[in-house]
Structure 1
Amino acid sequence: MIVDIHGVPAYAYTGGKAFDPDLPTVVFIHGAQNDHSVWALQSRYLAHHGYSVLAVDLPGHGRSKGAAKRTVEEMADWLLVVLAAAGVTRAALVGHSMGSLIALETAHKAPDRVTKLALLGSTFPMKVSDALLGTSRDNEQAAIDMVNIFSHSSMAQKPSCPGPGFSVMGGARRLMQRMSQINPEQLFYTDFFACNAYANGEIAAQSVGCPVLFVLGAKDVMTPPKSAKGLLAAMPHAKTITVDAGHAMMQEQPDAVLDALAAFLR
Protein backbone atom coordinates (compact mmCIF):
# COMPACT_ATOMS: atom_id res chain seq x y z
CA MET A 1 0.00 0.00 0.00
CA ILE A 2 1.36 3.41 -0.98
CA VAL A 3 0.03 6.71 0.37
CA ASP A 4 1.06 10.18 -0.70
CA ILE A 5 2.64 12.29 2.04
CA HIS A 6 3.11 15.83 0.80
CA GLY A 7 4.01 14.52 -2.65
CA VAL A 8 6.36 11.81 -1.36
CA PRO A 9 5.30 8.12 -1.55
CA ALA A 10 5.15 6.25 1.75
CA TYR A 11 4.89 2.45 1.73
CA ALA A 12 3.22 0.11 4.22
CA TYR A 13 2.91 -3.66 3.90
CA THR A 14 -0.65 -4.82 4.59
CA GLY A 15 0.04 -8.50 5.23
CA GLY A 16 -1.26 -9.82 1.94
CA LYS A 17 -4.78 -8.52 2.56
CA ALA A 18 -6.54 -5.42 1.28
CA PHE A 19 -6.38 -2.72 3.94
CA ASP A 20 -9.71 -2.03 5.65
CA PRO A 21 -9.62 0.94 8.07
CA ASP A 22 -12.88 -0.24 9.62
CA LEU A 23 -11.13 -3.26 11.16
CA PRO A 24 -8.96 -2.94 14.30
CA THR A 25 -5.64 -1.62 12.99
CA VAL A 26 -2.15 -2.67 14.04
CA VAL A 27 0.82 -0.55 12.95
CA PHE A 28 4.31 -2.08 12.92
CA ILE A 29 7.37 0.21 13.11
CA HIS A 30 10.81 -1.18 12.32
CA GLY A 31 14.16 -0.25 13.82
CA ALA A 32 17.37 1.28 12.48
CA GLN A 33 18.59 0.26 9.01
CA ASN A 34 15.59 -2.07 8.57
CA ASP A 35 12.26 -2.05 6.76
CA HIS A 36 8.79 -3.61 7.04
CA SER A 37 10.08 -7.10 6.21
CA VAL A 38 11.37 -7.69 9.76
CA TRP A 39 7.68 -8.10 10.72
CA ALA A 40 6.93 -10.67 7.98
CA LEU A 41 5.41 -13.40 10.15
CA GLN A 42 3.70 -11.22 12.73
CA SER A 43 2.15 -8.77 10.27
CA ARG A 44 0.90 -11.43 7.87
CA TYR A 45 -0.64 -13.57 10.62
CA LEU A 46 -2.57 -10.70 12.15
CA ALA A 47 -3.74 -9.50 8.72
CA HIS A 48 -5.35 -12.93 8.22
CA HIS A 49 -6.86 -13.08 11.71
CA GLY A 50 -9.18 -10.12 12.00
CA TYR A 51 -6.89 -7.10 11.91
CA SER A 52 -5.89 -4.52 9.35
CA VAL A 53 -2.13 -4.15 9.25
CA LEU A 54 0.24 -1.38 8.27
CA ALA A 55 3.90 -2.39 8.52
CA VAL A 56 5.48 0.86 7.47
CA ASP A 57 8.77 1.62 5.77
CA LEU A 58 10.08 4.76 7.42
CA PRO A 59 11.20 7.57 5.06
CA GLY A 60 14.43 6.67 3.30
CA HIS A 61 13.97 2.98 4.14
CA GLY A 62 12.64 0.22 1.91
CA ARG A 63 9.98 1.45 -0.50
CA SER A 64 9.25 4.78 1.20
CA LYS A 65 10.88 7.66 -0.62
CA GLY A 66 12.36 10.89 0.66
CA ALA A 67 15.19 11.59 3.05
CA ALA A 68 15.37 9.72 6.33
CA LYS A 69 13.97 11.71 9.25
CA ARG A 70 16.63 12.88 11.68
CA THR A 71 14.71 12.81 14.97
CA VAL A 72 12.28 10.46 16.69
CA GLU A 73 9.83 13.35 16.99
CA GLU A 74 9.88 13.91 13.22
CA MET A 75 9.28 10.21 12.62
CA ALA A 76 6.31 10.23 15.01
CA ASP A 77 4.83 13.23 13.20
CA TRP A 78 5.31 11.45 9.87
CA LEU A 79 3.60 8.33 11.21
CA LEU A 80 0.54 10.31 12.30
CA VAL A 81 0.26 11.81 8.82
CA VAL A 82 0.51 8.32 7.28
CA LEU A 83 -2.29 7.05 9.52
CA ALA A 84 -4.50 9.97 8.56
CA ALA A 85 -3.79 9.40 4.87
CA ALA A 86 -4.74 5.73 5.26
CA GLY A 87 -8.01 6.65 6.99
CA VAL A 88 -6.96 5.27 10.37
CA THR A 89 -8.43 7.09 13.36
CA ARG A 90 -7.14 4.74 16.08
CA ALA A 91 -4.56 1.97 16.05
CA ALA A 92 -2.37 -0.27 18.18
CA LEU A 93 1.32 0.53 17.71
CA VAL A 94 4.05 -2.12 17.74
CA GLY A 95 7.63 -0.84 17.57
CA HIS A 96 11.03 -2.51 17.74
CA SER A 97 14.18 -0.75 18.97
CA MET A 98 14.19 2.69 17.29
CA GLY A 99 10.63 1.89 16.26
CA SER A 100 9.67 1.49 19.92
CA LEU A 101 10.77 5.08 20.59
CA ILE A 102 8.71 6.25 17.60
CA ALA A 103 5.68 4.34 18.90
CA LEU A 104 6.16 5.79 22.38
CA GLU A 105 6.50 9.36 21.10
CA THR A 106 3.45 8.91 18.85
CA ALA A 107 1.37 7.74 21.81
CA HIS A 108 2.54 10.82 23.69
CA LYS A 109 1.69 13.18 20.85
CA ALA A 110 -1.70 11.66 20.05
CA PRO A 111 -2.98 9.57 22.98
CA ASP A 112 -6.53 9.53 21.63
CA ARG A 113 -5.32 7.76 18.47
CA VAL A 114 -3.39 4.91 20.13
CA THR A 115 -5.35 1.97 21.53
CA LYS A 116 -2.43 -0.20 22.67
CA LEU A 117 1.34 0.08 22.72
CA ALA A 118 3.80 -2.82 22.32
CA LEU A 119 7.49 -1.99 22.78
CA LEU A 120 10.02 -4.62 21.68
CA GLY A 121 13.73 -4.38 22.45
CA SER A 122 13.13 -1.01 24.01
CA THR A 123 15.04 1.15 26.44
CA PHE A 124 15.46 4.78 27.42
CA PRO A 125 17.74 6.54 27.05
CA MET A 126 18.68 4.56 23.92
CA LYS A 127 22.30 5.67 23.90
CA VAL A 128 24.65 4.50 21.18
CA SER A 129 28.33 4.17 22.08
CA ASP A 130 30.66 6.76 20.61
CA ALA A 131 32.60 3.99 18.85
CA LEU A 132 29.51 2.53 17.16
CA LEU A 133 28.08 5.95 16.31
CA GLY A 134 31.38 6.98 14.73
CA THR A 135 31.68 3.71 12.82
CA SER A 136 28.16 4.08 11.44
CA ARG A 137 29.18 7.50 10.12
CA ASP A 138 32.62 6.60 8.75
CA ASN A 139 32.32 2.91 7.80
CA GLU A 140 28.71 1.83 7.42
CA GLN A 141 29.55 -1.73 6.35
CA ALA A 142 31.64 -2.24 9.48
CA ALA A 143 28.76 -0.91 11.58
CA ILE A 144 26.38 -3.33 9.86
CA ASP A 145 28.67 -6.24 10.69
CA MET A 146 29.05 -5.11 14.30
CA VAL A 147 25.33 -4.63 14.91
CA ASN A 148 24.46 -7.86 13.15
CA ILE A 149 26.68 -9.76 15.58
CA PHE A 150 25.47 -7.83 18.62
CA SER A 151 21.79 -8.28 17.70
CA HIS A 152 21.77 -12.09 17.58
CA SER A 153 22.24 -14.51 20.43
CA SER A 154 23.76 -17.22 18.24
CA MET A 155 25.60 -17.64 14.96
CA ALA A 156 23.12 -20.37 13.96
CA GLN A 157 19.34 -20.27 13.78
CA LYS A 158 17.38 -22.08 16.46
CA PRO A 159 15.76 -25.46 15.69
CA SER A 160 12.36 -23.74 15.71
CA CYS A 161 13.36 -21.37 12.89
CA PRO A 162 10.55 -21.47 10.29
CA GLY A 163 13.05 -21.56 7.42
CA PRO A 164 15.27 -24.67 7.70
CA GLY A 165 18.71 -23.94 6.30
CA PHE A 166 18.08 -20.21 6.30
CA SER A 167 20.72 -17.99 7.88
CA VAL A 168 18.98 -15.55 10.22
CA MET A 169 22.17 -13.53 10.62
CA GLY A 170 22.87 -13.59 6.89
CA GLY A 171 19.36 -12.39 6.08
CA ALA A 172 19.59 -9.55 8.59
CA ARG A 173 22.98 -8.50 7.24
CA ARG A 174 21.75 -8.49 3.67
CA LEU A 175 18.71 -6.41 4.58
CA MET A 176 20.91 -3.76 6.18
CA GLN A 177 23.19 -3.76 3.14
CA ARG A 178 20.18 -3.27 0.90
CA MET A 179 19.07 -0.27 2.95
CA SER A 180 22.50 1.25 2.35
CA GLN A 181 22.16 0.69 -1.39
CA ILE A 182 18.71 2.27 -1.46
CA ASN A 183 19.75 5.28 0.61
CA PRO A 184 23.50 5.98 0.59
CA GLU A 185 23.15 9.17 2.68
CA GLN A 186 24.58 7.72 5.91
CA LEU A 187 21.29 6.05 6.79
CA PHE A 188 22.62 4.02 9.70
CA TYR A 189 24.27 7.07 11.25
CA THR A 190 21.05 9.09 10.84
CA ASP A 191 19.02 6.37 12.57
CA PHE A 192 21.54 5.86 15.36
CA PHE A 193 21.87 9.60 15.90
CA ALA A 194 18.09 9.88 16.27
CA CYS A 195 18.04 7.11 18.89
CA ASN A 196 20.98 8.60 20.75
CA ALA A 197 19.52 12.12 20.77
CA TYR A 198 15.95 11.28 21.79
CA ALA A 199 15.35 12.89 25.19
CA ASN A 200 11.58 12.79 25.70
CA GLY A 201 11.21 9.13 26.63
CA GLU A 202 10.50 9.52 30.34
CA ILE A 203 7.95 12.28 29.84
CA ALA A 204 6.32 10.35 27.01
CA ALA A 205 6.16 7.15 29.08
CA GLN A 206 4.59 8.93 32.02
CA SER A 207 1.85 10.27 29.75
CA VAL A 208 0.80 6.88 28.36
CA GLY A 209 -2.53 5.61 29.67
CA CYS A 210 -3.35 2.86 27.19
CA PRO A 211 -2.41 -0.81 27.76
CA VAL A 212 1.33 -1.40 27.26
CA LEU A 213 3.35 -4.54 26.58
CA PHE A 214 7.12 -4.87 26.74
CA VAL A 215 8.69 -7.80 24.87
CA LEU A 216 12.30 -8.19 25.93
CA GLY A 217 15.04 -10.49 24.68
CA ALA A 218 16.64 -12.45 27.51
CA LYS A 219 19.96 -12.45 25.60
CA ASP A 220 19.70 -8.93 24.18
CA VAL A 221 23.01 -7.05 24.52
CA MET A 222 21.88 -4.05 22.44
CA THR A 223 19.01 -3.13 24.77
CA PRO A 224 19.40 -5.47 27.77
CA PRO A 225 16.20 -6.19 29.74
CA LYS A 226 17.59 -4.44 32.81
CA SER A 227 17.95 -1.22 30.82
CA ALA A 228 14.16 -1.02 30.42
CA LYS A 229 13.66 -0.47 34.15
CA GLY A 230 13.24 3.27 33.75
CA LEU A 231 10.47 2.93 31.19
CA LEU A 232 8.79 0.20 33.22
CA ALA A 233 8.85 2.40 36.31
CA ALA A 234 7.20 5.20 34.34
CA MET A 235 4.46 2.83 33.13
CA PRO A 236 3.62 0.64 36.15
CA HIS A 237 0.53 -0.72 34.38
CA ALA A 238 2.68 -2.28 31.61
CA LYS A 239 3.00 -6.03 31.17
CA THR A 240 6.34 -7.68 30.37
CA ILE A 241 7.16 -10.84 28.45
CA THR A 242 10.70 -12.13 27.98
CA VAL A 243 11.62 -14.34 25.04
CA ASP A 244 14.73 -16.47 24.57
CA ALA A 245 16.40 -14.26 21.97
CA GLY A 246 18.77 -11.42 21.33
CA HIS A 247 17.80 -8.01 19.99
CA ALA A 248 16.62 -9.42 16.64
CA MET A 249 13.82 -11.26 18.43
CA MET A 250 11.30 -11.23 15.55
CA GLN A 251 13.71 -13.33 13.50
CA GLU A 252 15.17 -15.49 16.27
CA GLN A 253 11.89 -16.28 18.00
CA PRO A 254 9.13 -15.31 15.54
CA ASP A 255 6.48 -17.58 17.03
CA ALA A 256 7.12 -16.47 20.62
CA VAL A 257 6.91 -12.81 19.57
CA LEU A 258 3.73 -13.46 17.61
CA ASP A 259 2.14 -15.30 20.53
CA ALA A 260 2.92 -12.41 22.87
CA LEU A 261 1.52 -9.81 20.47
CA ALA A 262 -1.59 -11.79 19.54
CA ALA A 263 -2.49 -12.36 23.19
CA PHE A 264 -1.89 -8.70 24.02
CA LEU A 265 -3.95 -7.40 21.12
CA ARG A 266 -6.88 -9.64 21.99
Structure 2
Amino acid sequence: MTETLPEYRVSGAGDTTIFMLHGAYGDGRYFANTAAYLAEAGYRVVVWNCPGYGQDETPADFSIDYAGNAARALIEAEGTGTNILLGHSMGALIAPNAAMKSNGRVHGIILSGASIGFQNRTPQDQARFLKERIAPITEQGMTVQEYAPSLLKTMMAPDAKGHLVDLVYKVISEMKTDAFMASMKALTEYNNTPATKAINVPTLLLSGEFDTACPPAGMEKLAAIIPDSEYHMIRDAGHYAFAEQVDAYHAHLIDFLNRRFSS
Protein backbone atom coordinates (compact mmCIF):
# COMPACT_ATOMS: atom_id res chain seq x y z
CA MET A 1 0.00 0.00 0.00
CA THR A 2 1.13 3.54 -0.71
CA GLU A 3 2.54 5.50 2.21
CA THR A 4 3.00 8.85 0.44
CA LEU A 5 0.09 11.23 0.91
CA PRO A 6 -1.36 12.85 -2.21
CA GLU A 7 -1.55 16.62 -2.64
CA TYR A 8 -4.45 18.11 -0.70
CA ARG A 9 -5.88 21.33 0.69
CA VAL A 10 -7.81 21.86 3.92
CA SER A 11 -10.42 24.52 4.58
CA GLY A 12 -12.91 25.13 7.35
CA ALA A 13 -12.90 23.66 10.83
CA GLY A 14 -14.91 21.26 12.94
CA ASP A 15 -15.24 17.62 13.88
CA THR A 16 -16.96 16.56 10.65
CA THR A 17 -14.58 16.35 7.70
CA ILE A 18 -15.67 15.98 4.08
CA PHE A 19 -13.05 14.49 1.77
CA MET A 20 -13.62 15.54 -1.86
CA LEU A 21 -12.32 13.16 -4.56
CA HIS A 22 -12.40 14.43 -8.15
CA GLY A 23 -12.92 12.56 -11.43
CA ALA A 24 -10.59 11.37 -14.16
CA TYR A 25 -10.86 14.69 -15.98
CA GLY A 26 -9.41 17.67 -14.12
CA ASP A 27 -8.33 17.85 -10.48
CA GLY A 28 -9.51 19.13 -7.12
CA ARG A 29 -9.47 22.78 -8.14
CA TYR A 30 -12.89 22.53 -9.77
CA PHE A 31 -14.36 21.82 -6.32
CA ALA A 32 -13.26 25.26 -5.01
CA ASN A 33 -16.76 26.75 -4.85
CA THR A 34 -18.38 23.73 -3.21
CA ALA A 35 -15.48 23.40 -0.74
CA ALA A 36 -15.90 27.05 0.26
CA TYR A 37 -19.67 26.59 0.63
CA LEU A 38 -19.25 23.57 2.89
CA ALA A 39 -16.58 25.29 4.98
CA GLU A 40 -18.85 28.31 5.42
CA ALA A 41 -21.62 25.93 6.51
CA GLY A 42 -19.42 24.69 9.36
CA TYR A 43 -17.76 21.63 7.89
CA ARG A 44 -14.07 20.88 7.60
CA VAL A 45 -13.15 20.10 3.99
CA VAL A 46 -10.19 18.21 2.51
CA VAL A 47 -9.85 18.41 -1.27
CA TRP A 48 -7.26 16.12 -2.80
CA ASN A 49 -5.49 15.77 -6.09
CA CYS A 50 -5.59 12.07 -6.89
CA PRO A 51 -2.12 10.45 -7.16
CA GLY A 52 -0.68 11.39 -10.55
CA TYR A 53 -2.60 14.66 -10.73
CA GLY A 54 -1.39 18.14 -9.87
CA GLN A 55 2.37 18.16 -9.45
CA ASP A 56 2.58 14.44 -8.65
CA GLU A 57 4.13 12.09 -11.19
CA THR A 58 1.75 9.47 -12.52
CA PRO A 59 2.39 6.19 -10.63
CA ALA A 60 3.42 3.37 -12.95
CA ASP A 61 1.12 1.00 -11.08
CA PHE A 62 -1.85 3.36 -10.73
CA SER A 63 -5.19 1.64 -10.18
CA ILE A 64 -8.43 2.29 -8.33
CA ASP A 65 -7.03 0.14 -5.51
CA TYR A 66 -3.89 2.31 -5.48
CA ALA A 67 -6.03 5.44 -5.25
CA GLY A 68 -8.21 3.83 -2.58
CA ASN A 69 -5.12 3.14 -0.49
CA ALA A 70 -4.01 6.75 -0.91
CA ALA A 71 -7.46 7.98 0.17
CA ARG A 72 -7.35 5.65 3.19
CA ALA A 73 -3.98 7.10 4.18
CA LEU A 74 -5.35 10.62 3.82
CA ILE A 75 -8.31 9.75 6.05
CA GLU A 76 -5.91 8.37 8.65
CA ALA A 77 -3.83 11.55 8.50
CA GLU A 78 -6.61 14.15 8.37
CA GLY A 79 -9.70 12.41 9.69
CA THR A 80 -11.78 13.75 12.57
CA GLY A 81 -14.63 12.34 14.64
CA THR A 82 -16.93 12.07 11.62
CA ASN A 83 -15.60 11.54 8.10
CA ILE A 84 -17.57 11.70 4.87
CA LEU A 85 -16.27 10.90 1.40
CA LEU A 86 -17.62 12.86 -1.57
CA GLY A 87 -16.52 11.11 -4.74
CA HIS A 88 -17.27 12.53 -8.16
CA SER A 89 -17.09 10.34 -11.30
CA MET A 90 -13.84 8.34 -10.92
CA GLY A 91 -13.80 9.60 -7.34
CA ALA A 92 -17.13 7.80 -6.87
CA LEU A 93 -15.28 4.54 -7.60
CA ILE A 94 -12.45 5.44 -5.23
CA ALA A 95 -14.68 6.49 -2.30
CA PRO A 96 -16.32 3.08 -1.64
CA ASN A 97 -12.94 1.38 -2.13
CA ALA A 98 -11.36 3.65 0.47
CA ALA A 99 -14.30 3.27 2.85
CA MET A 100 -13.99 -0.52 2.66
CA LYS A 101 -10.34 -0.23 3.76
CA SER A 102 -10.78 2.39 6.48
CA ASN A 103 -11.77 0.23 9.45
CA GLY A 104 -14.97 2.11 10.24
CA ARG A 105 -13.48 5.60 10.01
CA VAL A 106 -15.83 6.56 7.15
CA HIS A 107 -19.30 7.47 8.38
CA GLY A 108 -20.99 8.67 5.21
CA ILE A 109 -20.56 8.67 1.44
CA ILE A 110 -21.73 11.01 -1.32
CA LEU A 111 -21.56 9.67 -4.87
CA SER A 112 -21.73 12.42 -7.47
CA GLY A 113 -21.95 11.73 -11.19
CA ALA A 114 -21.22 8.08 -10.44
CA SER A 115 -21.07 5.07 -12.73
CA ILE A 116 -22.35 1.55 -12.25
CA GLY A 117 -18.82 0.60 -13.33
CA PHE A 118 -17.28 0.07 -16.74
CA GLN A 119 -17.54 -3.70 -16.46
CA ASN A 120 -21.26 -3.39 -15.73
CA ARG A 121 -21.99 -1.29 -18.82
CA THR A 122 -23.39 -2.86 -21.98
CA PRO A 123 -20.84 -3.75 -24.68
CA GLN A 124 -22.26 -0.95 -26.83
CA ASP A 125 -21.86 1.59 -24.04
CA GLN A 126 -18.32 0.39 -23.31
CA ALA A 127 -17.40 0.89 -26.96
CA ARG A 128 -18.92 4.39 -27.01
CA PHE A 129 -17.16 5.34 -23.79
CA LEU A 130 -13.75 4.28 -25.12
CA LYS A 131 -14.28 5.82 -28.55
CA GLU A 132 -15.11 9.19 -27.05
CA ARG A 133 -12.29 9.27 -24.49
CA ILE A 134 -9.43 7.01 -25.60
CA ALA A 135 -9.54 6.95 -29.41
CA PRO A 136 -8.70 10.66 -29.86
CA ILE A 137 -5.45 10.04 -27.95
CA THR A 138 -4.44 6.60 -29.18
CA GLU A 139 -5.68 6.84 -32.77
CA GLN A 140 -5.45 10.55 -33.56
CA GLY A 141 -2.50 11.55 -31.38
CA MET A 142 -4.43 14.29 -29.62
CA THR A 143 -3.95 15.55 -26.09
CA VAL A 144 -6.75 15.90 -23.54
CA GLN A 145 -6.52 19.65 -24.03
CA GLU A 146 -7.19 19.29 -27.76
CA TYR A 147 -10.26 17.06 -27.73
CA ALA A 148 -11.84 17.42 -24.27
CA PRO A 149 -13.69 20.74 -24.82
CA SER A 150 -15.95 19.32 -27.51
CA LEU A 151 -16.61 16.15 -25.47
CA LEU A 152 -17.37 18.15 -22.32
CA LYS A 153 -20.16 19.97 -24.13
CA THR A 154 -21.90 16.63 -24.68
CA MET A 155 -21.47 15.72 -20.99
CA MET A 156 -23.19 18.88 -19.73
CA ALA A 157 -26.69 20.26 -20.04
CA PRO A 158 -27.38 22.02 -23.36
CA ASP A 159 -27.45 25.47 -21.73
CA ALA A 160 -24.60 24.97 -19.23
CA LYS A 161 -22.70 28.20 -18.69
CA GLY A 162 -21.20 30.48 -16.07
CA HIS A 163 -17.87 31.02 -14.36
CA LEU A 164 -17.96 27.65 -12.57
CA VAL A 165 -18.54 25.82 -15.84
CA ASP A 166 -15.65 27.84 -17.26
CA LEU A 167 -13.53 26.70 -14.31
CA VAL A 168 -14.25 23.05 -15.12
CA TYR A 169 -13.07 23.62 -18.69
CA LYS A 170 -9.95 25.46 -17.47
CA VAL A 171 -8.93 22.81 -14.95
CA ILE A 172 -9.44 20.00 -17.45
CA SER A 173 -7.51 21.89 -20.14
CA GLU A 174 -4.48 22.00 -17.83
CA MET A 175 -4.34 18.31 -16.92
CA LYS A 176 -1.72 15.81 -18.03
CA THR A 177 -2.69 13.37 -20.75
CA ASP A 178 -0.65 10.56 -19.17
CA ALA A 179 -2.55 10.95 -15.88
CA PHE A 180 -5.84 10.74 -17.74
CA MET A 181 -4.75 7.64 -19.66
CA ALA A 182 -3.66 5.96 -16.42
CA SER A 183 -7.06 6.74 -14.93
CA MET A 184 -8.90 5.35 -17.96
CA LYS A 185 -6.93 2.11 -17.73
CA ALA A 186 -7.64 1.91 -14.01
CA LEU A 187 -11.38 2.43 -14.20
CA THR A 188 -11.91 0.10 -17.17
CA GLU A 189 -10.10 -2.69 -15.28
CA TYR A 190 -11.86 -2.14 -11.96
CA ASN A 191 -14.90 -4.06 -10.77
CA ASN A 192 -16.66 -1.74 -8.31
CA THR A 193 -19.46 -4.13 -7.37
CA PRO A 194 -17.82 -5.63 -4.23
CA ALA A 195 -17.00 -2.21 -2.76
CA THR A 196 -20.45 -0.87 -3.63
CA LYS A 197 -22.15 -3.83 -1.95
CA ALA A 198 -19.93 -3.32 1.11
CA ILE A 199 -21.21 0.23 1.73
CA ASN A 200 -22.89 0.23 5.14
CA VAL A 201 -23.12 3.94 5.93
CA PRO A 202 -25.64 6.63 4.93
CA THR A 203 -25.13 7.43 1.26
CA LEU A 204 -26.34 10.24 -0.97
CA LEU A 205 -26.35 9.78 -4.75
CA LEU A 206 -26.59 12.80 -7.06
CA SER A 207 -26.90 12.58 -10.83
CA GLY A 208 -27.45 15.11 -13.60
CA GLU A 209 -30.42 14.83 -15.95
CA PHE A 210 -28.24 15.20 -19.06
CA ASP A 211 -25.17 13.25 -17.90
CA THR A 212 -24.03 11.07 -20.81
CA ALA A 213 -20.88 9.88 -19.00
CA CYS A 214 -22.70 8.44 -15.98
CA PRO A 215 -26.41 8.41 -16.88
CA PRO A 216 -29.12 8.68 -14.21
CA ALA A 217 -30.35 5.15 -14.98
CA GLY A 218 -27.03 3.73 -13.82
CA MET A 219 -27.13 5.73 -10.62
CA GLU A 220 -30.62 4.42 -9.91
CA LYS A 221 -29.16 0.92 -10.11
CA LEU A 222 -26.40 1.93 -7.68
CA ALA A 223 -28.96 3.30 -5.25
CA ALA A 224 -30.84 -0.01 -5.36
CA ILE A 225 -27.67 -1.83 -4.25
CA ILE A 226 -26.83 0.45 -1.29
CA PRO A 227 -29.17 -0.18 1.68
CA ASP A 228 -29.17 3.21 3.46
CA SER A 229 -29.13 5.45 0.42
CA GLU A 230 -31.09 8.29 -1.12
CA TYR A 231 -30.97 9.31 -4.76
CA HIS A 232 -31.73 12.62 -6.45
CA MET A 233 -31.52 13.60 -10.11
CA ILE A 234 -30.73 17.27 -10.64
CA ARG A 235 -32.68 18.83 -13.48
CA ASP A 236 -30.97 20.84 -16.21
CA ALA A 237 -27.55 19.51 -15.24
CA GLY A 238 -25.10 17.09 -16.79
CA HIS A 239 -21.98 15.43 -15.43
CA TYR A 240 -20.78 18.50 -13.52
CA ALA A 241 -23.91 19.42 -11.58
CA PHE A 242 -21.83 21.13 -8.87
CA ALA A 243 -20.87 23.73 -11.52
CA GLU A 244 -24.01 23.68 -13.69
CA GLN A 245 -26.79 23.81 -11.07
CA VAL A 246 -24.97 25.03 -8.00
CA ASP A 247 -27.94 25.90 -5.79
CA ALA A 248 -29.70 22.58 -6.32
CA TYR A 249 -26.51 20.59 -5.84
CA HIS A 250 -25.61 22.42 -2.63
CA ALA A 251 -29.15 22.16 -1.30
CA HIS A 252 -29.04 18.36 -1.57
CA LEU A 253 -25.59 18.27 0.06
CA ILE A 254 -26.45 20.43 3.04
CA ASP A 255 -29.82 18.75 3.61
CA PHE A 256 -28.20 15.31 3.68
CA LEU A 257 -25.31 16.41 5.89
CA ASN A 258 -27.46 18.30 8.36
CA ARG A 259 -30.05 15.54 8.66
CA ARG A 260 -27.67 12.62 8.95
CA PHE A 261 -24.59 14.05 10.65
CA SER A 262 -25.49 17.15 12.69
CA SER A 263 -24.67 16.84 16.36
Match of 1:242 among 210, 233, 247: 233
Give deviations 1:180-203, integer Å, cap 9, x for gaps.
2xxx5x12211222222211x221
> TM-score, normalised on structure 1?
0.82
The one-letter code matched in structure 2 to 1:241 is H
Structure 1 pair 191/224, CA: closer, same or farther in 2 (3 Å)?
Answer: same
1:154 corresponds to: 158
- 1:230 aligns to 2:187 (yes or no): no
Alignment partner, residue 10 of structure 1:
6
Is the alpha carbon distance of 1:51 and 1:233 closer, same or farther for their aligned partners in structure 2, counting shifts above 3 Å?
Answer: same
Of 54, 71, 80, the residue aligned with 1:79 is: 71
Task: Give the structure 1 partner of residue 84 of structure 2.
Answer: 92
**Which 10-residue stretch deviates more, 50-59 or 119-128?**
119-128
Deviation of residue 178 (structure 1)? 1.1
- Relative distance call for 1:260 and 1:167 in structure 2 (3 A) is closer
Name the CA distance, whole Å, in 2 between partners of 1:130 and 1:45. Answer: 35
State the match for 1:123 in structure 2: 115
Deviations 1:126-179 (A, max 9, x none): 36523122324442234423431222112552xxx5xxxx472x4323211211
Aligned residues: 243
Q: Counterparts of 1:211 and 1:147 in 2: how far apart (Å)?
A: 33
8 A contact 2:205–2:230 mirrored in 1: yes
After superposition, where does 1:1-266 map in structure 2 within 5 Å? 6=3, 10-15=6-11, 17=12, 20=13, 23-63=15-55, 65-68=56-59, 70-88=62-80, 90-110=82-102, 112-126=104-118, 129-131=129-131, 132-137=133-138, 138-140=141-143, 141-154=145-158, 156-157=160-161, 161=162, 166=163, 168=165, 170-180=166-176, 186-199=178-191, 201-244=192-235, 245-266=237-258
Q: 1:87 to 1:177 in 2, by over 3 A?
A: same
The answer on whether the counterparts of 1:29 and 1:56 sit within 8 Å (CA) in structure 2 is yes
Taking a change above 3 Å as real, the CA distance of residues 108 and 167 of structure 1, as seen in their structure-2 partners, is closer
8 Å CA contact retained: 1:133, 1:193: no
Contact 1:91–1:116 (8 Å) recurs in 2: yes
What is the alpha-carbon distance in structure 1 between the residues aligned to residue 160 and residue 105 of structure 2? 40
In 2, the alpha carbon distance for the partners of 1:73 and 1:133 equals 21
SS at match of 1:74: helix
Contact 2:107–2:202, Cα closer than 8 Å, also in 1: yes
Letter in 2 for 1:139: M
| Equivalent position SS for 1:239 | strand
Q: For residues 64 and 81 of structure 2, what CA distance do their matches in structure 1 show?
A: 21
Distance, in Å, in 2 between the alignment partners of 1:264 and 1:111 is 23
RMSD: 2.3
TM-score, scaled relative to structure 2: 0.83
2:261 is aligned to none
- State the identity %: 24
1:217 Cα deviation (Å)? 0.4
> Residues 90, 147 of structure 1: CA spacing in aligned structure 2 closer, same or farther, 3 A cutoff?
farther
My pick for the range that moved more, 114-123 or 46-55, is 46-55
Partner amino acid for 2:27? Answer: D
Distance in 1, matches of 2:36 and 2:200, equals 28
Shift of the 43–156 alpha-carbon distance from structure 1 to 2, 3 Å rule, reads closer
Q: 1:212 to 1:111 in 2, by over 3 A?
A: farther
- Render the CA deviation track for 1:232-258: whole Å, top value 9, x for unaligned: 221143101111200011110122111
Q: Secondary structure at the match of 1:113?
A: coil
